[in-house]
C-alpha cells in the first residue's frame, strides 16, 4: 500500500489542541481520518515534549537571527551589485563590447542565412536553436510537475464546490464581451504565430496569447465545455506531436549542420509568409506547446485535471 | 571615487533592475506568506530580465526587424539580449506555476501558508515514521 | 522627453515592487504585481523589443496573474472543504482521479 | 567526421524524445522506455569515451549550421563523456534499486510522470556535461531544477512538499544569481560561448579594464552554482531534500544532480574564466575556506542527526565541502582529487540512501537509531552495502573514498599557507566521519537485544541485490584500480584545459 500522507487535513485542529498544551505532536499522526477522537486517544499516551510558549519563543529567536543575517546579506549584495553596475559599459552606448561581430552578423546576414526578417526569431530558432529546444522542454517539465502536484490522486475530488462558483456565462455583459473578444484574441494569436518570422512575435508570444484566449474561453463557458472541446487526450496528443516534431526537425538541422551535409529545406524569399525555411513550422510547433501548456496550467489549477 | 561610481547615473535602467532584483530577493527572504514569496520570485526574475534587455539597447536605434532593405548593423539594436530574455520569461512562468502548485498542495496538507508555522510544524513532528 | 517618460515608468515600477512588499494581503500583492507586469511590457516597447512586450503582457499580466488568483481560489475552496467536512463526516474516498 | 562523434547529440535527442513519448504511455511502458534509454545512453557515452580516448582528441560539435561565435555547439574531450557515463550509470543503479520503494511511495497514476522526470533529469545532466555555451547551461540548469523538484515532491507527503519548497527557493535564488553573473559577463565580453569567452576575458584581464565587474560576475556564477549544489553556508535545504524524498530520488538528487552543477562549475572555472584569473580574483580562496568549513560543519551536524537518512544527507554537505576545498586549492593534482571525490561520492551516496531505506524498512519503517539496532542481521544485503558505503565515506583503503583523501593530502603540500588548513581539515573531518559512520555501522550489526521488537528476517530480492552489488563493485573497482582512472583524468585534463 502507498503511504498515506503523515498529516491529514484534520491536522490543523489537532495543531490547535497542541497550541493549548493538550497534546504533543512528536508522534506521527497517521491518518486520524474519520475518527479524530480515536487518533487523539492514541496521541494522548505521549507526554508533551515542549510547551507552546517555550517553543514559539525559540522560533521567534531563531527567526530574528535569520532576519538579521538576511538583512546584512541583502545590504552587502545590493552594494556590490550597484558597484558592478557602475562599472559596466554605459547604457545605450553604441560602442559597448556587446556590439561585436556576433550581433552584426545576426543582423547583416541573418535574413539571408535563416530567411527570417525578424532577427530575434531567426536567432532563437536557427543560430541558437539548442537553447530554444531546451526552453520548450522547460515548459514541458513544468507542465508535468504541475500535473504531478495538482492531480488529485485517489483522494476526495475537489470539484465539490463548483456550484458555488460564479457562472460567468449567465452574466450578459461578460458573455457578450467575451463572445466578441475571444475570437479576436485567438485571431491575433494566430497572426502573431504565423507572422513570427516577419514581424514581432513568434512561437512564444503567439502561444501565450492563444493560451490566454483559451483560458478566457474556459473561464467564461466553464471547464466542462472547454474540456469537451479540448479533451485531455487531444491536449496530450498536440503537445506530444509538436514537441516530437520540434525535436526531429531540429535534430535534422543539427545533424546536417554538424556533419556538413546539405540542408534540403528551401528558405524562400525573405519577407514572404512562406519563407524562413523551418522557422515558421517551428514557430507553430512552439506556439502549440506554449498555448497548451498555459491552458493545462489553468485546467490543473482549476479542477485538478485536464 | 570617481572611478568607483563611474557610470552609476548613466546606467539608471540597470540600477533600477538591480533595485528590483533586490526587492524581489528581500520579499523572498523576509515574507512569511508563500504566495507573496512567489510574487517576490517573479519580481526578482523580471529585474534580471530588465538588466539583460537594457544591455542590448542602443540609444536611437530600432527594432531588429529588417525592413526597407536596410541591413547595416548601425540601424538596429542588439538582438541577442531580446532572445535570451524571451527564454527567461518562459522559464519564469514555468517556475512560478510550479511554485504555486506546491503552495496549493502545502495548504491542503497543513492549512497554512505561513512559513514560520510550517517550519514549526515540521520541527515539532520530528522523528516520525519515514 | 522620452527619457523623462522612461524614468517615470521605472519609478512606478519600483513603487509597484515596494508596494507588493509592504501590502499585507496576498490578493493586493497580486493585483499590484499585475500592474507591475503591464508597466514592464511598456518598458519593453521603449527598449525596442516588441517581442518581449507581447510575451510579457500575455504571460506576466495574463497567465501568471490568473494562476495566482486560481491559487487563492483553491485555498479558499480548501478552507470551505475543511468546514464542510467537519460538519458532516460522510463520503468515502473519491474516485481515483488522474488524467489518464 | 566519424559517425561516433554524433553520439552525444543522439543521446540528448533520444532522451528528449523518450521524455515526450512517456507523456503518452502508461507507467509500465514508461519504465521500460526509461530503462532502455539509460542503458542506451550508457552504451553511447561509453563508445564516445573510447573513441576520444583512442584518438586522444577533443572536438566541437555544431548544433546547427553556424560555427562558434554565432551558433550553439557542444564540446567534448575525455572528461565530458566520462562524467556523462558516470551520471547515466549511477542513475540507472538508483532507479533500479529504488523501483520497488518508488512504486510504493508514488501513486500509480503518477508513476509515468516519475519516469518522465528521470528522463528529463538525465537529458539536463548530459547537456550540462557537454555544453559549450553558457546560456545553454542556464536553460538546462532550470530543467534540472524543475525536474528534481518534481522528483522530490512526487512522494506526496507533507514534509517532502515543504522540503521541495525550500529546495526550490534556494535553487531559484541560485539560478537567478547565476543568470546575473552570465549577464554581467556577457555585457563585458559580448560573447556566450566558452572558447570566445575565455579569450576575451583573458585579454580584458590583461588590459586591466572591468576587473571589478569581472570578479563580481565570476563570484555570482560560482555562488549561484554553489547554492544549487549545496556548498556549506547554503546547505539548509539539503538534509530535508535528501532525507525526505523516495530513496531513488534521494540517490539521484544527491549522487548525480549536484555533481552535474559542480561539473558545470568546473567547466566555467577552467574553460571560461581560466584558472589563473580565477585564482587572482580571490574567489578561489573563498571556495577553499567555505569548503573547509563545510567539511567540519557537515560532519558535526551529521553527528547530531537523529534519523539515518538525515545523517547521510548531512554527510553529503561534508563531502561536497571536500570538492569545494579541492577547487579552492587550484592545482592539477587537486583537480584530479576533485574528480575522484566526485566519482566516489556519486557511487557511494546513492548506495547509502538505498540501503538506509531498506534498513529502515526492516526496522518497522523507523529511522531513529534505536530502532535500527541490529538491522543488518535482518537485511544482510542492505547491511553489507551500507557497510561498504560507510567504510568508503570514512576513507578506508581499498574503497573509493580513500583515493580522493590521499590525493587531497598529497596535493596539499607546496601550496604555501593553504597546506596546513587543508591537512588539518582532512584530519578533523576523517575523525568526525569515523565517529558517525563507524558508530552507525557497528550499530546496525549489533546482536539483537533482549526484548527488542521481533522483526522477521527479510529475504533479499534480486532487484535490490543487483544495483547495490553493482554500485559496491564500482566502488571497490575505483578504490583498487585507481591508476587507470588517474591516467584517464590526467589525459582528460590536458584536453579539457587546452
Given a contact cutoff of 8 angstroms between Cβ atoms, the answer to whether D313 and D234 are in contact is no
pLDDT at A8: 42
Measured between beta carbons, the chain B residues lying within 8 angstroms of C33 are 39, 42-43
Burial of residue C22, with CB atoms counted within 10 A of its CB: 0-12 exposed, 13-18 middle, 19 or more buried: exposed
C83 touches chain B (CB under 8 A): no
Residue A35 has pLDDT above 90, yes or no: no
Instruction: Tell how strand D72-76 and strand D59-63 pair up.
Output: antiparallel
Tell me the residues of chain C between 54 and 73 that have a Cβ less than 8 Å away from chain A: 54-55, 58-59, 62-63, 66-67, 70-71
The residue with greater pLDDT, D268 or A159, is D268
User: Nearest residue of B to residue A197 by CA position?
Assistant: B65
Q: How many inter-chain contacts (C to D, CB under 8 Å) are there?
A: 8
Phi, psi (degrees; rounded to nearest 5) at D274:
90, 135
What is d(CA A100, CA A119) in angstroms, rounded to the nearest whole number? 16
What is d(CA D239, CA D280) in angstroms, rounded to the nearest whole number? 34
- ipTM attached to this prediction: 0.92
- DSSP β-bridge partners for residue B114: B33
Contacts 24+ apart (CB under 8 A), C81-89: C81/A9, C81/A156, C81/A158, C81/A160, C81/A161, C82/A9, C82/A12, C82/B111, C84/A160, C85/A9, C86/A13, C89/A34
pLDDT at C86: 61
Residues of chain D falling short of pLDDT 50: 451
pLDDT at D228: 92
CA distances to A14, A124, C83, C91, D228 from C88, rounded to whole Å, are 18, 57, 9, 9, 46
**What are the tens digits of pLDDT across the range B17-63?**
999 999 999 998 888 889 999 999 999 999 999 999 998 888 888 88
**What are the tens digits of pLDDT across the range A91-146?**
888 888 888 888 888 888 888 888 888 888 888 888 889 999 999 999 999 999 99
> Among C56, C67, C79, whose Cβ lies nearest the Cβ of B97?
C67
B66 touches chain C (CB under 8 A): no
What is d(CA C51, CA B53) in angstroms, rounded to the nearest whole number? 12
> Among B102, B122, B129, whose Cβ lies nearest the Cβ of D153?
B102
- pTM equals 0.91
Instruction: Please answer yes or no on whether D19 and A102 come within 8 Å at the CB atom.
Output: no
What is d(CA A14, CA A40) in angstroms, rounded to the nearest whole number? 8
Instruction: Please answer yes or no on whether D150 and A128 come within 8 Å at the CB atom.
Output: no
Instruction: Please answer yes or no on whether A7 and B91 come within 8 Å at the CB atom.
Output: no
- In angstroms, what separates the C-alpha of B64 from chain A's closest C-alpha? 6
- In angstroms, what separates the C-alpha of D134 from chain B's closest C-alpha? 11
- In angstroms, what separates the C-alpha of A166 from chain D's closest C-alpha? 31
pLDDT grade, residue A29 (50/70/90)?
Answer: very low
Instruction: Please answer yes or no on whether A100 and D153 come within 8 Å at the CB atom.
Output: no
Residue D106: DSSP 8-state: S
B91 touches chain D (CB under 8 A): yes
Length of chain D: 498
Instruction: Please answer yes or no on whether C72 and B35 come within 8 Å at the CB atom.
Output: yes
What is d(CA A165, CA A159) in angstroms, rounded to the nearest whole number? 10
A95 touches chain D (CB under 8 A): no
Residue A49: DSSP 8-state: S
The residue with greater pLDDT, A9 or B117, is B117
pLDDT at D130: 93
Is B12-63+72-114 in CATH node 3.30.420.10? Answer: no
Residue A15 has pLDDT above 70, yes or no: no
Q: How many inter-chain contacts (A to B, CB under 8 Å) are there?
A: 205
Nearest to B24 by CA among B6, B59, B50, B1: B50
- In angstroms, what separates the C-alpha of D197 from chain C's closest C-alpha? 26
What is d(CA D268, CA D287) in angstroms, rounded to the nearest whole number? 14
Instruction: Please answer yes or no on whether C51 and A201 come within 8 Å at the CB atom.
Output: yes
Given a contact cutoff of 8 angstroms between Cβ atoms, the answer to whether D16 and A247 are in contact is yes
User: Nearest residue of A to residue B102 by CA position?
Assistant: A149
pLDDT at D448: 65
Q: Which chains touch C (3 or more CB pairs under 8 A)?
A: A, B, D
- In angstroms, what separates the C-alpha of B121 from chain D's closest C-alpha? 10
Measured between beta carbons, the chain B residues lying within 8 angstroms of A74 are 22, 25-26, 29
C83 touches chain A (CB under 8 A): no
Instruction: Please answer yes or no on whether A86 and B8 come within 8 Å at the CB atom.
Output: yes
Determine the residue among A89, A92, A144 to mutate to test chain D binding: the one whose Cβ has the most chain D Cβ atoms within 10 Å.
A144
What is d(CA A29, CA A31) in angstroms, rounded to the nearest whole number? 6
- DSSP β-bridge partners for residue D61: D74
pLDDT at A36: 45
Cβ neighbours, 10 Å, residue A35: 12
Measured between beta carbons, the chain B residues lying within 8 angstroms of D187 are 55
Measured between beta carbons, the chain A residues lying within 8 angstroms of B25 are 74, 77
pLDDT at D178: 95
User: Nearest residue of A to residue D2 by CA position?
Assistant: A259
Q: Within 13 A of A27's CA, how many CA atoms are on the CB side? A: 17
- In angstroms, what separates the C-alpha of B60 from chain D's closest C-alpha? 19
User: Nearest residue of C to residue B86 by CA position?
Assistant: C52
What is d(CA A30, CA A7) in angstroms, rounded to the nearest whole number? 7
DSSP labels for B44-105?
HHHHHHHHHHHHH-BTT-B-SB--TT---GGGB--HHHHHHHHHHHHHHHHHHHHHHHHHHH
% of chain A with per-residue pLDDT over 70 = 77
Instruction: Please answer yes or no on whether A148 and D110 come within 8 Å at the CB atom.
Output: yes
User: Nearest residue of D to residue A137 by CA position?
Assistant: D143
A241-245, C77-81, D53-57: which has the highest mean pLDDT? A241-245
Nearest to D334 by CA among D323, D321, D346: D323
Residue C34 has pLDDT above 90, yes or no: yes
User: Nearest residue of A to residue B80 by CA position?
Assistant: A103
Q: What residue ranges do the domains of chain B occupy?
A: 12-63+72-114
| A279-301: average pLDDT | 92
D28 touches chain C (CB under 8 A): no
Give the mean pLDDT of chain C: 82
What is d(CA D242, CA D251) in angstroms, rounded to the nearest whole number? 8
| A67-90: average pLDDT | 89
**What are the tens digits of pLDDT across the range B51-99?**
999 988 888 888 888 877 777 878 888 889 999 999 999 999 999 999 9
Instruction: Please answer yes or no on whether C99 and A301 come within 8 Å at the CB atom.
Output: no
pLDDT at A261: 85
Nearest to D454 by CA among D317, D362, D325: D362
Determine the residue among B17, B43, B118, B130 to mutate to test chain D binding: the one whose Cβ has the most chain D Cβ atoms within 10 Å.
B130
B45 touches chain D (CB under 8 A): yes
- DSSP β-bridge partners for residue A118: B65
| A70-91: average pLDDT | 89
> Among B30, B55, B65, whose Cβ lies nearest the Cβ of A98?
B55
User: Nearest residue of B to residue D309 by CA position?
Assistant: B130
> Among D156, D161, D176, whose Cβ lies nearest the Cβ of B44?
D176
What is d(CA D14, CA D19) in angstroms, rounded to the nearest whole number? 9
Given a contact cutoff of 8 angstroms between Cβ atoms, the answer to whether A193 and A176 are in contact is no
What is d(CA C9, CA C40) in angstroms, rounded to the nearest whole number? 8
pLDDT grade, residue A3 (50/70/90)?
Answer: very low
The cell numbers describing D334, all together, are 587537486
User: Nearest residue of B to residue A49 by CA position?
Assistant: B124
Gyration radius of chain C's alpha carbons: 20
Amino acid at each position: 500500500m502507498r503511504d498515506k500522507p503523515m498529516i491529514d487535513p484534520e491536522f490543523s485542529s489537532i495543531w490547535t489542541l497542541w497550541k493549548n498544551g493538550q497534546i504533543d505532536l512528536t508522534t506521527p499522526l497517521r491518518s486520524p481520518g474519520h475518527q479524530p477522537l480515536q487518533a487523539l486517544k492514541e496521541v494522548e499516551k505521549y507526554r508533551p515534549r515542549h510547551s507552546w510558549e517555550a517553543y514559539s519563543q525559540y522560533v521567534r529567536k531563531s527567526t530574528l537571527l535569520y532576519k538579521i543575517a538576511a538583512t546584512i546579506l541583502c545590504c552587502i549584495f545590493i552594494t556590490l551589485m550597484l558597484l558592478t553596475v557602475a562599472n559596466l559599459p554605459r547604457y545605450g552606448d553604441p560602442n559597448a563590447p556587446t556590439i561585436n561581430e556576433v550581433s552584426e552578423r545576426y543582423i547583416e546576414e541573418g535574413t539571408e542565412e535563416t530567411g527570417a526578417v525578424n532577427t530575434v526569431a531567426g536567432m532563437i530558432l536557427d543560430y541558437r536553436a539548442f537553447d530554444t529546444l531546451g526552453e520548450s522542454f522547460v515548459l514541458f517539465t513544468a507542465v508535468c510537475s504541475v500535473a504531478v502536484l495538482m492531480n488529485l490522486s485517489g483522494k476526495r475530488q475537489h470539484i465539490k464546490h463548483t456550484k458555488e462558483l460564479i457562472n460567468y456565462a449567465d452574466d450578459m455583459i461578460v458573455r457578450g464581451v467575451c463572445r466578441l473578444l475571444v475570437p479576436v484574441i485567438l485571431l491575433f494569436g494566430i497572426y502573431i504565430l504565423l507572422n513570427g518570422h516577419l514581424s514581432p512575435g513568434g512561437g512564444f508570444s503567439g502561444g501565450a496569447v492563444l493560451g490566454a484566449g483559451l483560458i478566457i474561453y474556459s473561464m467564461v463557458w466553464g471547464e466542462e465545455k472547454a474540456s469537451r472541446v479540448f479533451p485531455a487526450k487531444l491536449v496530450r496528443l498536440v503537445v506530444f506531436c509538436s514537441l516530437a516534431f520540434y525535436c526531429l526537425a531540429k535534430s535534422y538541422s543539427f545533424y546536417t549542420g554538424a556533419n556538413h551535409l546539405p540542408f534540403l529545406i528551401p528558405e524562400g524569399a525573405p519577407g514572404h509568409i512562406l519563407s524562413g525555411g523551418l522557422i515558421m513550422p517551428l514557430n507553430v510547433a512552439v506556439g502549440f506547446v506554449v498555448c497548451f501548456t498555459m491552458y493545462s496550467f489553468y485546467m490543473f489549477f482549476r479542477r485538478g485535471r485536464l | 571615487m570617481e572611478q568607483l561610481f563611474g557610470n552609476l547615473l548613466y546606467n539608471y535602467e540597470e540600477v533600477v533592475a538591480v533595485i528590483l532584483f533586490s526587492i524581489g530577493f528581500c520579499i523572498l527572504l523576509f515574507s512569511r506568506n508563500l504566495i507573496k514569496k512567489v510574487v517576490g520570485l517573479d519580481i526578482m526574475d523580471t529585474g534580471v530580465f530588465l538588466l539583460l534587455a537594457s544591455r542590448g539597447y542602443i540609444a536611437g536605434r530600432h527594432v531588429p526587424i529588417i525592413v526597407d532593405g536596410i541591413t547595416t548593423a548601425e540601424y538596429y539594436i542588439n538582438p541577442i539580449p531580446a532572445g535570451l530574455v524571451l527564454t527567461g520569461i518562459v522559464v519564469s512562468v514555468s517556475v512560478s506555476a510550479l511554485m504555486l502548485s506546491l503552495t496549493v498542495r502545502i495548504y491542503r496538507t497543513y492549512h497554512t501558508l505561513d512559513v514560520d508555522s510550517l517550519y514549526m510544524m515540521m520541527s515539532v513532528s520530528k522523528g516520525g515514521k519515514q | 522627453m522620452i527619457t523623462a517618460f522612461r524614468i517615470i515608468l521605472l519609478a512606478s515600477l519600483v513603487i509597484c515592487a515596494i508596494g507588493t512588499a509592504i501590502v499585507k494581503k496576498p490578493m493586493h500583492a497580486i493585483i499590484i504585481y499585475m500592474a507591475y507586469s503591464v508597466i514592464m511590457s511598456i518598458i519593453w516597447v521603449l527598449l525596442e523589443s516588441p517581442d518581449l512586450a507581447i510575451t510579457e503582457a500575455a504571460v506576466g499580466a495574463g497567465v501568471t496573474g490568473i494562476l495566482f488568483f486560481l491559487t487563492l481560489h483553491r485555498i479558499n475552496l480548501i478552507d470551505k472543504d475543511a468546514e464542510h467536512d467537519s460538519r458532516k463526516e460522510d463520503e468515502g474516498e473519491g474516485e481515483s482521479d488522474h488524467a489518464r | 567526421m566519424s559517425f561516433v562523434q554524433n553520439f552525444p547529440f543522439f543521446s540528448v535527442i533520444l532522451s528528449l524524445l523518450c521524455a515526450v513519448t512517456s507523456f503518452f504511455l502508461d507507467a509500465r511502458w514508461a519504465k521500460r522506455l526509461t530503462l532502455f534509454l539509460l542503458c542506451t545512453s550508457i552504451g553511447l557515452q561509453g563508445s564516445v569515451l573510447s573513441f576520444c580516448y583512442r584518438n586522444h582528441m577533443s572536438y566541437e560539435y555544431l548544433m546547427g549550421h553556424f560555427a562558434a561565435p554565432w551558433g550553439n555547439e557542444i564540446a567534448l574531450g575525455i572528461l565530458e563523456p566520462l562524467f556523462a557515463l558516470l551520471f547515466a550509470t549511477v542513475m540507472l543503479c538508483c532507479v533500479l534499486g529504488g523501483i520497488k520503494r518508488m512504486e510504493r511511495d508514488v501513486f500509480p497514476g503518477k508513476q509515468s510522470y516519475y519516469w518522465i522526470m528521470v528522463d528529463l533529469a538525465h537529458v539536463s545532466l548530459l547537456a550540462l556535461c557537454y555544453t559549450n555555451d553558457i546560456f545553454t547551461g542556464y536553460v538546462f540548469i532550470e530543467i534540472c531544477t524543475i525536474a528534481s523538484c518534481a522528483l522530490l515532491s512526487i512522494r506526496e507527503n507533507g514534509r517532502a512538499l515543504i522540503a521541495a519548497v525550500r529546495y526550490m527557493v534556494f535553487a531559484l535564488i541560485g539560478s537567478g544569481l547565476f543568470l546575473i553573473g552570465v549577464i554581467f559577463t556577457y555585457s563585458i565580453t559580448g560573447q556566450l560561448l566558452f572558447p570566445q569567452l575565455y579569450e576575451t576575458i583573458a585579454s580584458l584581464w590583461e588590459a586591466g579594464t572591468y576587473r571589478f565587474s569581472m570578479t563580481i560576475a565570476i563570484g555570482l556564477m560560482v555562488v549561484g552554482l554553489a547554492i544549487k549544489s549545496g556548498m556549506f553556508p547554503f546547505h539548509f535545504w539539503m538534509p530535508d531534500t535528501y532525507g525526505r524524498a523516495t530513496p531513488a530520488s534521494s540517490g539521484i538528487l544527491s549522487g548525480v544532480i549536484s555533481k552535474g552543477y559542480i561539473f558545470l562549475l568546473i567547466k566555467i572555472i577552467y574553460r571560461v574564466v581560466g584558472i589563473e584569473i580565477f585564482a587572482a580574483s580571490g574567489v578561489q580562496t573563498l571556495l577553499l575556506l567555505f569548503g573547509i568549513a563545510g567539511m567540519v560543519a557537515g560532519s558535526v551536524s551529521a553527528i547530531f542527526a537523529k534519523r539515518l537518512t538525515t545523517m547521510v544527507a548531512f554527510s553529503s554537505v561534508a563531502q561536497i565541502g571536500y570538492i569545494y576545498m579541492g577547487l579552492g586549492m587550484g592545482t592539477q593534482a587537486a583537480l584530479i582529487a576533485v574528480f575522484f571525490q566526485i566519482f566516489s561520492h556519486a557511487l557511494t551516496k546513492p548506495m547509502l540512501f538505498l540501503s538506509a531505506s531498506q534498513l529502515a524498512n526492516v526496522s518497522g519503517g523507523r529511522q531513529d537509531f534505536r530502532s535500527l539496532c541490529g538491522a543488518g542481521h535482518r537485511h544482510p544485503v542492505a547491511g553489507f552495502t551500507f557497510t561498504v558505503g560507510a567504510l568508503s565515506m570514512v576513507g578506508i583503503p581499498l574503497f573509493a573514498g580513500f583515493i580522493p583523501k590521499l590525493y587531497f593530502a598529497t596535493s596539499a603540500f607546496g601550496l604555501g599557507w593553504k597546506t596546513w588548513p587543508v591537512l588539518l581539515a582532512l584530519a578533523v573531518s576523517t575523525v568526525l566521519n569515523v565517529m558517525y559512520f563507524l558508530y552507525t555501522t557497528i550499530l546496525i550489526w549489533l546482536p539483537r537485544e533482549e526484548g527488542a521488537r521481533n522483526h522477521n528476517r527479510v529475504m533479499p530480492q534480486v532487484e535490490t541485490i543487483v544495483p547495490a552489488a553493482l554500485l559496491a563493485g564500482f566502488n571497490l573497482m575505483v578504490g583498487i584500480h585507481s591508476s587507470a582512472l588517474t591516467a584517464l583524468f590526467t589525459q582528460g585534463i590536458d584536453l579539457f584545459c587546452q
